[in-house]
Amino acid sequence: MRYVYVHWQHDMPEAPSDLWYEIADDDFQNRTIEFYADGSVGFAIRSAAFDGSEDVEVGGTRNSTEGFPDLAEINSDSQFKASEVAAADFERRWGEALASRFRMTTGLTIAIDGPAGAGKGTLARRLADHYRLNLLDTGLTYRAVAHKLLELGLPLDNVSAAETAARQVDLSNLDRTVLSAHAVGEAASKVAVIPTVRRILVEKQRAFAKAPPGAVLDGRDIGTVVCPDADIKLYVTASAEVRARRRLAEIESMGGSADFATILADIERRDERDMGRASSPLKPAADAHLLDTSEMAIEAAFLAAMAIVDGVLAKRNKA
Ligand code: C5P
């Protein structure tokens, strides 16, 4: 099954805008699109799912890809009624839509790894929003396990309690406000060295990645272990000093205060633990794109990542 996202920014309240459509693999191979009640949506799906230069059967009507579809070809149930939208106006809107409004995302997985504070969380959120994909910050799953042990007053190396806590992690119910505390992050990197905890959490993360319409996952081992077949792998990094400076600015912007040297030491210690552990250490996958954000604003990193994803999508649409 392929999933096609049709995002249509228009000013016609009656027409669909943000919708996912499914195309069965056979239909994709045969280049046919089942009828979708609204012929214009069928055309939109064709544009999104197939190269615009290809002929594709839409709802049983053969549509030439030359020029715009004739209004008369559009089913009478179409939300684009001639009386509502003048033909020229429709063509203009349709042309604009073809040029920029449709995007195709079919079961896409984007894996983002990197050390704490490199900006991968923000990048993951921006990409998930832009490509309308599910989003999982896998750090929260390790944090949830650590938080549970702290709550129970148990040591962080209590393997059986950590395993139980890992099994109880509910991906749809991760409370970022509680889990984002600095101490929970530190504790998370301690439970994250337990191989069985990793196995339990990785299984949940993989199931999340597989669910339609696709997902962006960020963490430490996404490209190497969780989703080794991800369509796009990004490794986001920045120097420890830059990450410490960002963390300090964040704390100060929330009215807090902290000591730069302490933060830097914390970051370096966490890097060492994450990169040096035996089980799934943090490292770039061989096929990851490296994004060093030391001297790059997050917006620039997002644009760079988007160019990589768009490149992969364009290649897929041609395949
Ligand atoms: O990214 P975040 O700071 O929330 O992660 C907390 C800790 O969880 C990390 O320092 C790391 O030890 C662990 N982690 C991991 N694998 C992941 C995500 C996080 O080991 N995929």
pLDDT in tens, 156-212: 999 999 999 999 999 999 999 999 888 899 999 999 999 999 999 999 999 999 887
**Sequential DSSP letters for 181-202:** -HHHHHHHHHHTT-HHHHHHHH
Residue nearest (by alpha carbon) to ligand 1 atom 20: 192
For residues 47 and 167, membership in a common domain is answered with no
- pLDDT, tens digit, 9 for 90 and up, residues 305-316: 999 988 887 776
- Round to whole Å and give the CA distance between 86 and 309: 36
Residue nearest (by alpha carbon) to ligand 1 atom 2: 139
Q: How far is the CA of 40 from the centre of ligand 1 (A)?
A: 45
Within 10 angstroms of residue 55's Cβ, the number of other Cβ atoms is 13
- pLDDT, tens digit, 9 for 90 and up, residues 236-281: 999 999 999 998 998 898 888 889 999 999 999 999 999 999 999 9
pLDDT greater than 70 at residue 22: no
For residues 29 and 66, membership in a common domain is answered with yes
For residues 170 and 89, membership in a common domain is answered with no
For residues 244 and 259, membership in a common domain is answered with yes
143 pocket-lining for ligand 1 (C-beta < 6 Å): yes
For residues 137 and 70, membership in a common domain is answered with no
Q: How far is the CA of 132 from the centre of ligand 1 (A)?
A: 24
Q: Which of 143, 175, 189, 222 has most ligand 1 atoms within 8 Å of CB, for mutation? A: 189
CB 232 within 8 A of CB 128: no
For residues 178 and 299, membership in a common domain is answered with yes
Strands 214-219 and 108-113, bridge-based pairing: parallel
- Round to whole Å and give the CA distance between 168 and 145: 9
For residues 94 and 215, membership in a common domain is answered with no
Q: Which of 42, 76, 101 marks a domain boundary?
A: 101
Q: How far is the CA of 20 from the centre of ligand 1 (A)?
A: 32
Give the structural domain span for 266. 108-318
Q: Which of 101, 129, 153 marks a domain boundary?
A: 101
Is the entire prediction scored with pTM above 0.75? Answer: no
Task: Name all contacts of 147-154 with Cβ < 8 Å and 24+ positions apart.
Answer: 147/178, 147/179, 147/184, 147/187, 149/187, 149/191, 150/183, 150/184, 150/187
Q: Per the structure, how many domains does the chain have?
A: 2
- For residue 124, what is the domain's CATH number? 3.40.50.300
For residues 247 and 217, membership in a common domain is answered with yes
Instruction: For tokens 């089942």, name the residue.
Output: 34
Q: Rounded to a whole number, what is the largest CA-CA distance in the chain?
A: 71
- Round to whole Å and give the CA distance between 4 and 22: 6
Atom of ligand 1 nearest to the CA of 217: 21
Token pair listed for 148: 């549970």
For residues 171 and 203, membership in a common domain is answered with yes
Q: Which of 46, 72, 101 marks a domain boundary?
A: 101
For residues 142 and 283, membership in a common domain is answered with yes
Mean pLDDT confidence for 5-18: 50
Q: How far is the CA of 110 from the centre of ligand 1 (A)?
A: 17
Range scoring the smallest mean pLDDT among 4-8, 36-40, 195-199: 36-40
Residue nearest (by alpha carbon) to ligand 1 atom 16: 220
* Axis-axis angle for helices 260-276, 240-253 (nearest 10): 130
For residues 49 and 116, membership in a common domain is answered with no
For residues 26 and 85, membership in a common domain is answered with yes
